[in-house]
Amino acid sequence: MTEVQTPIIPLVGDMVRSTPGAISLGQGVVSYGPPPSAIEAAAKAAHDHSSHLYGAVLGTEALREALAAKLLRENGIRIGAENAVVVTSGANMGFLNAVLAVASPGDEVILQTPYYFNHEMAIRMAGCTPVCVETDERHQLRLGAIAVAMTPRTRAIVTVSPNNPTGALYPEADLRAVNELCRAASIYHIHDEAYEYFTYGAGRPFVPGSIPGSASHTIELFSLSKAYGFAGWRIGYMVIPEGLRAAVRKIQDTNLICPTMISQAAALAALQVGEGYSRSMNKDLPAVREIAVRAFAEIADLCTAPTPEGAFYFFVRIRSELDPLRLVERLVSEHGVAAIPGTAFGVAEGCSLRVAFGALETATAARGIDRLVTGLKAIVGG
């Protein structure tokens, strides 16, 4: 555990709480809560005696059936004899389940840098080695570098699209190529789609699990945290090869016993509302993104900030030798705005920040972005 990085979100959260009036562009959550029908379902479940007992390890039958229908309808994944859907306590648990199921201590798992920090942490907790492959200047996959990074100890390649922390959306051709690399090498493609409903313009996420013949080597991770404002309810799900079912059952039974029964009832109700809920609640995100695009364009001499195609993050590389955590400390204390240092996402060289804009109302997000740009001008450009 000494090799596992300290979670950065609580650290930055402490800075914000100790600075009255500070605006956080740090944590990646949405500004809204679950659909009213989901809250009603949870309240009803709280009075159902069966909710107070242990449930099925892999999730209730009703929720798994609803998820199977959603996966077929929206993602092109058919649940059948070759695969299985598993309800988890968030996509983070799904990822840890996957790593423990496919890798042994000393094995390697390939991540794309900047990576989602909890993925890197889970790999180390499993006694495995994260092998980091840098993405290009627009945070897109470098397929040749991924192939070169593979060794006999590689057990999985991880992709996240839409991406946390960069907002990148990976093209279908690139994800097909990664999936084929995994098939040819008899390893697993772990693909995280927690931000599946968060895209801009005509872009839509490609689902590797929908590729014919991919079921035996593809693990898909999904979450209700962002789509339905369920972050604190801890419900996600994974699609796994049937051959991993026994391993995942062991892992989940040991770590969890079962996903929370009341949250599963709420999740079932949320799915009945459907993806339109997320899209209606996020209708202002494109406007906030454009506010940030214009703001970062004003300081193009100080930083680069590729426009995100999905999720709600900018990954900003700053032309400064200042330590990223020290920069965050100064932004909070001197300018009342917080972001997350890029070092948490595996970017060791230079100075970078992840800027999240999904958790705030439009006016507040705009003020936060203005404070950030003003702060960078004063600290870096001054």
Residue 382 has pLDDT above 80, yes or no: no
Cα 162 to Cα 204: distance, rounded to the nearest angstrom:
9
Neighbouring CB atoms inside 10 A of 232's CB total: 11
pLDDT in tens, 262-310: 999 999 999 999 999 999 999 999 999 999 999 999 999 999 999 999 9
Per the omega criterion (within 30 degrees of 0), is the bond before 114 cis? yes
Q: Sorting pLDDT into bands at 50, 70 and 90, what band is 359?
A: confident
CATH 2.40.50.140 fits 8-30+282-379, yes or no: no
Cα 149 to Cα 115: distance, rounded to the nearest angstrom:
15
Q: Which residues in the chain belong to E strands, given as ranges?
A: 23-24, 83-88, 108-113, 129-134, 154-160, 188-192, 218-223, 236-241, 303-304, 313-318, 337-338, 340-341, 351-356
Q: Which residue bears the tokens 């040749």?
A: 144
pLDDT at 361: 87
Q: Where does residue 139 fall: left (phi above 0), alpha (psi -120 to 50 degrees), or beta otherwise? A: left
Region 134-159 average pLDDT: 98
Q: What percent of the chain has pLDDT over 90?
A: 95
* Average pLDDT of the chain to the nearest whole number: 96
Contact 308, 168 (CB under 8 A): yes
Region 253-266 average pLDDT: 97
Region 86-114 average pLDDT: 98
Cα 203 to Cα 208: distance, rounded to the nearest angstrom:
16
Q: Phi then psi for 233, rounded to 5 degrees?
A: -85, -20
Q: What percent of the chain has pLDDT over 70?
A: 100
Pairing of β 154-160 and β 188-192: parallel
pLDDT at 150: 98
Rg (CA), the chain: 20
Region 216-224 average pLDDT: 98
Residue 24 has pLDDT above 80, yes or no: yes
pLDDT in tens, 185-211: 999 999 999 999 999 988 899 999 999
Label residue 44 exposed, middle or buried (CB < 10 Å: 0-12, 13-18, 19+): middle
On whether the pTM is more than 0.95, the answer is yes
Helices (H), 242-353: 245-255, 261-273, 276-281, 285-298, 324-335
pLDDT at 381: 87
Q: Please give the structure tokens belonging to residue 321.
A: 């030798």
CATH 3.40.640.10 fits 36-273, yes or no: yes
Residue ranges per structural domain of the chain: 8-30+282-379, 36-273
Q: Please give the structure tokens belonging to residue 31.
A: 């500004």
Region 32-42 average pLDDT: 97
Cα of first residue to Cα of last residue in the chain, in angstroms, is 40
Region 14-25 average pLDDT: 95
